[in-house]
A and B are shown apart, each in its own frame.
Chain A
Amino acid sequence: MRFGTALLYSLLGMGVVFFALVLLMLLIRIMTAFGRPKPAAGTSGTAPAVSPAAEAPAGTAAAPGSAGELKLYDTDPRTAAMLMAIVADELQTPVNELRFLSIREIKE
């Protein structure tokens, strides 16, 4: 086979791969558009903003043993470790690939 012909086949091959995957991309977009749940009446459909109470107060100490970013509120380190392990198990993701910013006990 001549190089020119091989080049043409290569361009055609890349074209077919792109065409197939762009087609799939459009398909996913259509599927997403139809599958999106309608927002309930009276809600704006946007994600609720984080309440000011959830913001970390300045000067809170980092949990011992964490990377220095995790902040604990009314939660002991043992419970926090257990919660992180449960979340990692639920998400089927190693715990070192997750980033926990803060853990707070919600009292009602």
Chain B
Amino acid sequence: MDMLSVLSSLGKTSGFYLLFSDARQIVMLLLACVLLYLGLAKKFEPLLLIGIAFGMLLTNLPGSEMYHPELWDAYIAGQLRMTDILHDGGLLDILYIGVKTGVYPSLIFLGVGAMTDFGPLLANPKSLLLGAAAQLGIFAAFLMAIGLFGFDPNVAASIGIIGGADGPTAIWLTSKLAPDYLAPIAIAAYSYMALIPLIQPPVMRLLTTKEERETKMEQLRPVSQRQKVLFPILVTVFVVLLLPSVAPLLGCLMLGNLFRECGLTDRLSDTAQNAMMNIVTIFLSVSVGATAVYYRFLTWQTIFIIVLGLIAFEFATVGGLLLGKLMYKLSGGKINPLIGSAGVSAVPMAARVSQKEGQRANPANFLLMHAMGPNVAGVIGSAVAAGFLLAVFGG
């Protein structure tokens, strides 16, 4: 046996040798490390960003063979079946099935529903209007993606949904409309959600007067248990009848909420909020990160998506604030327009920003519970918008 040739072939199959075959791999590894730093040191959405960054690291380590985009291309083209992917795929291909089928985002929504208190929304149903207005960001970014950057409608719709400030919804829609763009869209959505305390306040101060920001709101009325139990059932029936495509997301959100509110399924609610949510978060984040393969991720489109994502967030904030201002005028100064910016979902970060800005203008201001109404309305609003886009562009 020629030891030299054995060592040579061993060296050529090693990752270190393959790493330098394309410099873009090194760029991606560095990018993964930057995201890991943001998650670990800066605590930007660590529960998701750490998993996404690690998935990105794994998939770009040459020779790891954990994720094969070409298998998924063949599956989309109808040349392979899911069983072929199970047979030939790597670990991350198998985990990715949950993203591709829309199972993970829906299960995340089940957990979100179990964690969400719709009481502030039920106490002040007008909050729903603010949640609807904040979806302006989705459609503004969709328009710009088509008008300025020439993206296909499917991709533009997936980029637009970043403005919903709702990670699972963005992943759910993108995995169906533009799976090749899943990684940049998910990373943009989660990064901007983490940056909401930096993104929103300048727009909030720009669009509102000091007098408006100082507005103190009356205490919310109490909501009965019966209303809280009926709400998820009625929402599911009415919204799914209106937009059947939204059923997986909204159905799971409301089922989780029913577990929480009915008082008979505490164990299920606890599992949905904790154990299940944590398991799905691991699978979702790692497999989404794995889709950031260097030769697909390092493109101009990724940069455009990052830019459009920021525009989407800003427009979403503007939409909520403008309607908030209108409601301030119509209510004779009883509604603080700052709660409008919380309509962008990103629960509860956006509501906390409203509270902080309100208190900055008037230390005796307590807007948190008022802002939670538009905040949870935004979750429903972005799911409805995603359902609309899927119905129109999903073919």
Contact = CB atoms under 8 A, between A and B. Distances in A.
Interface of A: 1, 3, 6-7, 9-14, 16-25, 27-29, 31-32, 35, 37, 92, 97, 99
30 contacts: A1-B156, A3-B146, A6-B156, A7-B143, A10-B142, A13-B385, A13-B388, A14-B135, A14-B139, A16-B384, A17-B132, A18-B129, A18-B132, A20-B132, A20-B238, A20-B239, A20-B243, A21-B132, A21-B380, A22-B128, A22-B129, A25-B128, A27-B234, A28-B122, A28-B125, A28-B231, A32-B125, A35-B230, A37-B224, A97-B366
Given A13-B385, A25-B126, A25-B128, A6 B227 contact: no
Contacts of A9: 142, 153, 392
Contact of B230 (A3, A14, A18, A31): A31
Interface of B: 117, 121-122, 125-126, 128-129, 131-132, 135-136, 138-140, 142-143, 146-147, 152-153, 156, 224, 226-227, 230-231, 234-235, 238-239, 242-243, 355, 364, 366, 368, 377, 380-381, 384-385, 388-389, 392
B242 to A, nearest CB: 6
A17 B143 contact: no
Given A17-B135, A20-B242, A21-B384, A35 B227 contact: yes
A40 B152 CA distance: 62
**Residue of A6, A19, A20, A23 most packed against chain B (CB within 10 A):** A20
Contacts of A19: 242
Given A24-B380, A27-B238, A28-B125, A1 B146 contact: yes
A3 B230 CA distance: 42
B389 A13 contact: yes
A42 B389 CA distance: 55
Contact of B381 (A6, A10, A17): A17
B153 A16 contact: no
B59 to A, nearest CB: 32
Contact of A24 (B139, B143, B146, B239): B239
B375 to A, nearest CB: 13
Nearest to A7: B143
A56 B135 CA distance: 46
Contacts of A21: 128-129, 131-132, 377, 380-381, 384
A16 B366 CA distance: 32
A7 B122 CA distance: 33
Contacts of B139: 10-11, 13-14
Contacts of B385: 13, 16-17
Nearest to B118: A28
Contacts of B132: 14, 17-18, 20-22
**Residue of A3, A11, A24 most packed against chain B (CB within 10 A):** A24
Contacts of A22: 128-129, 132
Contacts of B389: 13
Shortest 10 CB-CB distances between A and B: which pairs?
A10-B139, A28-B125, A21-B128, A21-B132, A25-B125, A6-B146, A3-B147, A25-B128, A20-B384, A18-B132
Given A28-B122, A97-B368, A16 B380 contact: no
Contacts of A28: 121-122, 125, 128, 227, 231
A86 B179 CA distance: 49
A97 B242 CA distance: 38
Contact of B138 (A3, A13, A23, A35): A13
